[in-house]
Structure 1
Amino acid sequence: MNLKNKLKWVVAIAAAFFVGVTFASKVSAATINNDYTLSSSQGSSLRTSNNVIIAHATAVYAPARNVAIFENRTWYSNTAYVQYVVGDGGKIYRVGAEGYQAWGAGSWANANAPVQVELAQTYDQAEFRKDYVTYVNLLRSSAIKYGIPTDVDSSAWRGV
């Protein structure tokens, strides 16, 4: 993904997140699929500091379910996984445990993010709309849950 596309994603996420755009659904109404959750003996056992929520995109056009399956299956060998994968028409798949380090964003971010969320990519505009609403609501509700600011530029070290 080139820099121009990354900037577009960041601006779109920030606009939706901070302006509070919610098209129809709320994350509280969303069902979380736990079929691909790591067991208590898998993943990191290190707790996080609650400073940031990490917003990822999968960077691959694949169903969110497949991404969750892959992260569950390869968490140790690839040393990569997050807490949630969103996609497939607004579905949420849990992989890692909230409040424990995931391995998705580098040492500092992993240690400071109680929640990291992947947004699956799709070519279907209607599916993307559902996914995006769920994604933004999950990011927002996670920030609120962990006392992380949701306003723009409140802190250099805390936020989404």
Structure 2
Amino acid sequence: MNLKNKLRWIMAIVTTFLFAVAVGQSAKASTIDNSYALSSNQGSSLRTSNNVVIAHATAVYAPARNVAIFENRTWYSNGAYVQYIVGDGGKIYRVGAEGYQAWGAGSWANANAPVQIELAQTYDQAEFRKDYVTYVNLLRSSAVKYGIPTTVDSSAWRGV
């Protein structure tokens, strides 16, 4: 291997390391905004089995804050809400309570997912990058918290 190729490998390793550090710092810096969380007498009172973490997308180009407000306001009339919405430059908004069924993915998934997370859609590439890093880190940390595998295709009935 010539010197030029060795330098490329070293730069690739250093870049990967720096990216991993930046992702880790972003995850630590994330705080959860509880402004739109359902109260203790709202939402489902049914506990979940801890088998899956559900990853959603909002399917609308709207600020994550607006989605959280909408889910908080219409959780009962629409029969739909999740625990978290991620967007607006890496912010996390709580709606439902972890460990209790949310109404976002059908009866089996709702009963088996202690956490369901929606990623807000945006046309802004820089905002999306922040949102996506926060989203993936929240998915991962939620799975770890509930003992759910994070490996790809680990099981048909357990995972993200």
- The list of structure 1 runs, each at least 4 consecutive aligned residues, that deviate by more than 4 angstroms after superposition, is none
Q: Please name the residue that 1:100 is paired with.
A: 100
The answer to whether residue 23 in structure 2 is matched with residue 53 in structure 1 is no
Q: Work out the CA distance in 1 between the residues paired with 2:44 and 2:28.
A: 26
Aligned length: 140
How far residue 153 of structure 1 moved from its aligned partner, in angstroms, is: 1.6
SS of corresponding position for 1:75? helix
2:134 partner letter: T
Q: Please name the residue that 1:80 is paired with.
A: 80
Identity percentage over the alignment? 86
1:63 partner letter: P
2:66 partner letter: N
Q: Work out the CA distance in 1 between the residues paired with 2:147 and 2:26.
A: 19
**CA offsets 1:28-85 (integer angstroms, 9 cap, x no match):** 4311000000000000000000000000000000000000000000000000000000
Q: Work out the CA distance in 2 between the residues paired with 1:89 and 1:153.
A: 30
Alignment RMSD (CA, Å) = 1.1
Q: Work out the CA distance in 1 between the residues paired with 2:106 and 2:61.
A: 23
Q: Work out the CA distance in 2 between the residues paired with 1:57 and 1:115.
A: 14
Contact 1:27–1:141 (CA under 8 A) maintained in structure 2: no
Pairing of 1:1-160 with structure 2 (within 5 A): 22=20, 23-24=22-23, 25-160=25-160
**CA offsets 1:85-124 (integer angstroms, 9 cap, x no match):** 0000000000000000000000000000000000000000
Contact 1:84–1:94 (CA under 8 A) maintained in structure 2: yes
| Structure 1 residue ranges without an equivalent (≥5) | 1-20
Q: Please name the residue that 1:17 is paired with.
A: none
More helix by share: 2
| TM-score, normalised relative to structure 1 | 0.85
| TM-score, normalised relative to structure 2 | 0.85
| Structure 2 residue ranges without an equivalent (≥5) | 1-18
